[in-house]
Structure 1
């Protein structure tokens, strides 16, 4: 990898103003494909570093996406090894459980207090012990860092390659979350140049506040409970058994300590300040808020100043960590069985206050979920004026026994709507009575456990607004130009009241709006026209069906093939689809049975929206129990071959094992898979033999054009 000083001299063509048009993979030799893939990997690693670590991207998102797509295309077509590839960060096979691994060095805790007196006592103890060990404490200052409120990780690199990551656990051992850590973009899979032979570092995984807000919003829109704070969201994500889930969530990681460094040519830095510089040079993300101070009074001033700016940071912190700025002194100071003696955490005050509820209002979300919000007598919580707090759902209201007039304790966890922790003093006679009719459209309200939903569907004005926003978003049909402000402008002009109105918009009406003209109007209408024939799965996702995200939508599309078949399916048939089950099946069936939803969908179809049908899974079992692995280029995409055998009951996996029955090889196959097949005594079929094998089972390959 290039350093900042040599970046402009780097000859990689995919770094600055890279091309986005490529030759068809079929025209490349294996040697040319490998060379291009190497350059793409190298460039994408640099772009990841610039974007996720330095926040200084060199290219736009769309250009990056095209480079990434090309790398995936090459790796799939030529079965190139992806172990060290950036593409390995976006997926991964789920694991059965998290194994426990020992740390390379103990991950001990830090003594802490929220009192300045305790911080000064730490300084006095440290000075005394340093003098006893032969150090002059006057010559040794401190480094102060934010105390992240996240999940601590040990990350281990050998020869610059990430080999293991583990949670703190009990300090001696923790959960192996290597697969999960590989999906966090700010944790590099390969260190930058001149890295040690062996390096174990400590970092903190966090969920940035802006990402947390967006993630919680999506959970609420899906009818799921929001996380209480970013730390809970982070903990719940890093322990996911499916690494693909981790890749989809907005996690970040900051590194702050070297645990072990082994290299004959590289010595451990002598100060913590230099240690942080080294982490940065190796491509490990550090936080810019850290400061070196001369003495403990400087550390106290740092903590107080950071506390005043706490709310402006894009991550949660609960204090600062004060570290002796001399790594040799760390060894002399040592540790207790529980904590290190060379650092101390100066905590912030808890962000909690007591106030009175003046009213409780019920909001309606995109999926019809009703969320109660308490309006409060304004109170300062953690330096921020709070006048409203979420009550989550009717079940939470019943659990708290809360009503208007009660005095409650308000907690503010993260840069989100605060929530009510408990009733401190009861003033109301009873508990807030949750409405049985939607406050927006007066449709009946149905309970689903602790949750409540409006049954008005897309006919409910509140759901319509949010449904439009989702329909045009990246999570829907990705219709560019329709952000919340543009949608509101169109609504105020009376042009956009429901989903079908999107397809009634015309250039002249749009061009008359403030800030728009003919060019902008043409662009918007062109985007709408391009969304008239969406893939079926995308259309299903865009409809805001409760609990139907992109993965479930894909499974529904493959199982039923058409929108009509899905809409007509009963709960039993829907429940048989992968990733659905009886609860989600009931929600899907209810959605399509709703007259308001049915009317909106029929109107969309009448306006020329044509969700594209797909070839359905037949449920055939001609290949039941067989497992196939594919390598090399076939006469049709390998994904088609995998889907074909799966439709007929077989399994298609990515690697050869003792459970594999057949390895199917095309042109330029991967040698590793062939070697594995031979060692496991797995039958190897070329494409002709594969086609003949399928023909014996009444299956055609390659498929007709």
Structure 2
């Protein structure tokens, strides 16, 4: 029975379907199976109307009720099936993707942004089709060139059997389980499908969904995707299909790779695909040549009328580009006739019957689609502009910092405005100015944190979430910082692993790191026995941390490694430090590197009930080492100030700072006129080097720094 027959008017779940169902215990096995067949057929039809026809006949809530009933029946009566719409909710994670060969090569497309190259493509086509004689009646199908991920979808007897990434064009990754979770990928074709059909489609993430997804990632403290294509590629190759099911992917189908019922023209193929439930794009146009003179047709000069229409199509689509709900980066011009395609053939890399006429890259000026707020480790609120992806210095940028509320007000920036984007030091994108105002007033920060709902308070030009370690965003970043080089330097606890531990519910505080168990870790994706044992070993060794490292690891605002060393040297023990902080914070101002502002910040950190409780919990697992406040290694560098940048071989920057400070020097984080030496390791910061040149500061490469220490009879700490 075809899907069309199953979807006939006697199916009660098509129009005005009931959402109250007979209890499962009152159904026989035969009745349950019949209801499952009806629900599957109805849901497929509703999917087709929603994704292909864009004309749903039931409300979303009603659809959800039918879907839930189908899942309930399949589970209760063991009626699961690979073709069922319920397969779209995902499944168990997989270990790896299998590499499989394509039904037909999925080659790339020759391309250019120059109209004359497009005309040359047309001249070659007309001269090569028909045994070298000029041809007048070449027709082209013009389509948007989607900026997504190209895939092969294979159907046998109407059922989806395989979905494969393009890979190298001849073989790719089998991502069928992930593809089944995409709403516009039918598990079973509609109507009367061919026995065998392999189609090429483009998986993409709609622009508004991409911005919403990026906003969510930013607010959760995760790195956003650079553009919709990266978001799509990163999603489709997830090892966990349930993750894919939660992300907003769609598909356009645009080519028949192989079929048991091939059509004569590409336009006929595109007309048939929606009849099968395969969604095509409504911007496709067919252009045809008008009659041309025999003299013109016989030569290889000039070009056909069809190609000029195709060029015009590209120009019109370029104007409409920003209004489309999906990203495109040009148009594709394809020979319509299949026999002519076969005659034109292929090169090793691309089909000779198709050509892509590319758009120019968006450069620097782009609209703001949305504004999100990012919560940092210290609670600082940073507004982030989400942009239509734009090229800035050869890099695609989809977000830019707005820095702080005062700068937003000064630049009068808001959602919808067209802005110029620059990159500070060729690294951090930021909004330079508003080019075209499309909104009233400027963006205002929310009153409460989007993560923990704690009040957001202003501190001069800055804004901060007051949630402290009770805020998940601050918590995750605090754990990352606790394990970083500036903290306890715990290997195996980077951004990705910390996020995984938090999302799995294994870590909800810094203290809970020390409560992790081997079995919990090895049960996580990507964790083996070795990685679990290594992390547990690192944590065991970190139960007696050096006091300076521990003070820095807590993430107290303004207390980095250098200030932490001064505090440890001054107070000797954590208990003595905390007693002064809580009872006599004014005494902190007598410590080098600690002024009134820093002293007040330290006091406020411990005055927070959530922070104090979090620190107490950590102290149940660790015992910071005592520092001998009387020890003085020497004063060889008394009065000198060092700044370190880049990574050093065999030691951390913290080790190098401790070394020079132990011998009387100051180690600071930024270069100024008071700096005596800038020590540079591998990949040094450009800003520090520029500041050193501007302030005439001596620069020591790592080898020179080590020689400098040897000359003074000093060994480098940490080696």
- CA distance in structure 2 between the partners assigned to 1:100 and 1:282 by the alignment: 28
Distance 1:349-1:39 versus aligned 2 partners, 3 A rule: same
2:153–2:164 contact (8 Å) kept in structure 1: yes
2:280 matched to 1:282?
Answer: no
* TM-score using structure 1 length: 0.57
What does residue 100 of structure 1 align with? 99
What does residue 658 of structure 2 align with? none
Distance 1:417-1:37 versus aligned 2 partners, 3 A rule: farther
2:196 matched to 1:185?
Answer: no
2:113–2:359 contact (8 Å) kept in structure 1: yes
What does residue 598 of structure 2 align with? none
- CA distance in structure 1 between the partners assigned to 2:72 and 2:450 by the alignment: 44
What does residue 352 of structure 2 align with? 341
1:303–1:320 contact (8 Å) kept in structure 2: yes
What does residue 572 of structure 1 align with? 514
Out of 194, 197, 201, the residue aligned to residue 195 of structure 2 is 197
Distance 1:11-1:569 versus aligned 2 partners, 3 A rule: farther
1:111–1:343 contact (8 Å) kept in structure 2: yes
- CA distance in structure 2 between the partners assigned to 1:221 and 1:277 by the alignment: 43
1:40–1:71 contact (8 Å) kept in structure 2: yes
1:219–1:225 contact (8 Å) kept in structure 2: yes
CA shift at 1:53, angstroms? 2.4
Alignment of 1:128-139 (within 5 A): 128-132=127-131, 137-139=135-137
Alignment of 1:81-230 (within 5 A): 81-132=80-131, 137-230=135-228
- CA distance in structure 1 between the partners assigned to 2:186 and 2:224 by the alignment: 29
Which is greater in Rg? 2
What does residue 296 of structure 1 align with? 307
2:66 is paired with a residue whose SS is helix
CA shift at 1:419, angstroms? 6.0
2:62 matched to 1:63?
Answer: yes
- CA distance in structure 2 between the partners assigned to 1:344 and 1:391 by the alignment: 34
1:209–1:415 contact (8 Å) kept in structure 2: no
1:143 is paired with a residue whose SS is strand
CA shift at 1:10, angstroms? 2.1
Distance 1:283-1:574 versus aligned 2 partners, 3 A rule: same
CA shift at 1:370, angstroms? 4.0
- CA distance in structure 2 between the partners assigned to 1:2 and 1:156 by the alignment: 18
What does residue 263 of structure 2 align with? 269
What does residue 494 of structure 2 align with? none
1:257–1:276 contact (8 Å) kept in structure 2: yes
CA shift at 1:27, angstroms? 1.3
- CA distance in structure 1 between the partners assigned to 2:163 and 2:103 by the alignment: 11
Out of 454, 460, 463, the residue aligned to residue 458 of structure 1 is 454
1:106 is paired with a residue whose SS is coil
The CA deviation string for residues 231-260 of structure 1, in whole angstroms up to 9 with x for no partner, is 000010111111111111001111110011
* TM-score using structure 2 length: 0.56
2:323 matched to 1:329?
Answer: no
- CA distance in structure 1 between the partners assigned to 2:187 and 2:420 by the alignment: 37
CA shift at 1:72, angstroms? 1.0
1:257 is paired with a residue whose SS is strand
2:352 is paired with a residue whose SS is strand
- CA distance in structure 2 between the partners assigned to 1:296 and 1:353 by the alignment: 31
CA shift at 1:415, angstroms? 12
CA shift at 1:570, angstroms? 4.0
CA shift at 1:329, angstroms? 0.6
1:89 is paired with a residue whose SS is helix
Alignment of 1:27-46 (within 5 A): 27-46=26-45
Distance 1:393-1:83 versus aligned 2 partners, 3 A rule: farther
What does residue 73 of structure 2 align with? 74
2:158–2:194 contact (8 Å) kept in structure 1: yes
